[in-house]
Amino acid sequence: MTAAPVARRRGRAQRHGGAAVTLIGPFVLFFLAFFVAPIGYALVDSLFTRRSSGLGLGPPERVFVALDNYVQALSTPVFVESLGRLLLFSVILVPMMVGTALGLALLLESGKARFPRVFRVVFFMPYGVPGVIAALLWGFLYIPATSPVLQGLRGVGIDLTPLSSDTVLFAIANIALWGFAGYNMLILVAALQAVPAELYEAASIDGAGEWQTIWRIKLPLLRPSIILVTVFTIIGTLQLFVEPLILRPLTTAINSDFTPNLAAYNQAFSYGNANLAAAMAVIVAVMAFVASFGFLRLVNRKGNRAW
């Protein structure tokens, strides 16, 4: 890594190559070891398989099989089902999450809310509760024996079974919403507070009403933050693992390969097929990139910049 004597925006660069390496080195080393290497390992490992030799004697040998593991993963019905389920889960969660975070942020910053700081803390609080604990808590609230909510609803004649196969995705989405809506709301609140007051004054002088101010000023200015929140939520949905794992003993609606991550985990640790697990992990990573960049391309197309 050498200090290139060209294009020095801030005019600092010469002769400091050694210092740059010292400061950047440790992070890059760890990044390579614990981020890049595992991905590379998975990519390579997904192209091999372990076959026990002839009579099953001796150690299994590693055989190059090209894309066989991918073909096998994508022709395993439970895995394909879990991919579809994940897609459906995203379709449920992303609008819920963005809508809730945006709604709460706009309400808090509408100038009509009292004690906005208290509300901000209350909404943000669940972010500190680990996903596992959140799933445990909501698990108790999803079974009639311990749930005051379900008992109350039953009292007025409404029978809810959140963990039935029709509603279980919503039940899981609710746990994610509870944990992260406040965090996403804070991102949007921070962006709203960065809007210069003159814009609102100008709008008010021009006779813009509340809705017009939201539609013409706030939403366009919030656009980058809304995109950020959406991308984070999409990536978050692809991580889905803990919640179904914790809720599984409570319901028959969740099978052991409920999400792609669970399927990969089971392949690796229950069935001992690390190569197939690697292929599954790579498929999830590719989905993450396709979804994130696909969304970014979609919103950055010229025609869509209207709002």
Contact by Cβ (8 Å): 132, 221: no
- The distance of closest approach from Cβ of residue 279 to other proteins in the complex, given in angstroms and rounded to an integer, is 11
Question: Among all chains, which residue has been given the structure tokens 């089971």?
Answer: 266
The distance from CA 264 to its chain's CA centroid, rounded to whole angstroms, is 18
Q: How far is the CB of 53 from other proteins (least distance, A)?
A: 21
Decide whether 56 or 111 has the Cβ nearer to other proteins: 111
Q: 77-108 and 219-238 are packed helices; what angle lies between their axes, rounded to 10 degrees?
A: 150
Print the binding letters for residues 73-92 with other proteins: x by CB under 8 A, - otherwise: --------------------
CB of 62 to other proteins, least distance (A): 13
Nearest to 203 by CA among 213, 214, 211: 213
What's the min distance (Å) between Cβ of 164 and other proteins? Answer: 20
Which tokens go with 233?
A: 């939520």
Q: Which of 74, 80, 141, 160 binds other proteins (CB under 8 A)?
A: 141
Compare residues 185 and 253 and give the one whose CB is closer to other proteins.
Answer: 185
Site residues for other proteins, window 4-23 (CB under 8 A)?
4, 6-13, 16-20, 22-23
Q: Which stretch binds other proteins (CB under 8 A): 72-80, 84-92, 106-114, 158-166?
A: 106-114
The reply to whether 278 sits near other proteins by the rule CB under 8 A is yes
Q: How many CB atoms lie within 10 A of CB 40?
A: 11
The single residue among 53, 151, 164, 212 that binds other proteins, judged by CB under 8 A, is 151
Q: How many residues bind other proteins (CB under 8 A)?
A: 121
Q: How far is it, in rounded angstroms, from Cα 242 to Cα 68?
A: 29
Strand partners, 61: 51
Q: How many Cβ atoms from other residues are within 10 Å of residue 274's Cβ?
A: 18
The backbone torsions φ and ψ at residue 115, rounded to the nearest 5 degrees and listed phi first, read: 50, 45
CB 232 within 8 A of CB 144: no
Cα separation, 292 vs 300, whole angstroms: 12
Binding mask 16-55 for other proteins (x = CB under 8 A): xxxxx-xxx-xxx-xx-xxx-xxx-xx--x----------
Residue 2 binding other proteins, by CB under 8 A: yes
For other proteins, the binding residue among 78, 80, 96, 133 (CB under 8 A) is 133
Residues 239-268 that bind other proteins (CB under 8 A): 239, 241-242, 246, 249, 261, 264-265, 268
Cβ atoms < 10 Å from Cβ of 98: 18
As a residue count, the chain comes to: 307
147 forms part of the interface with other proteins (CB under 8 A): yes
* Binding to other proteins in span 177-236, by CB under 8 A: 178, 181-182, 186-188, 190-191, 193-197, 200-201, 204, 209-210, 213, 220-221, 223-225, 227-228, 231, 235
For residue 247 the two structure tokens come to 């809720």
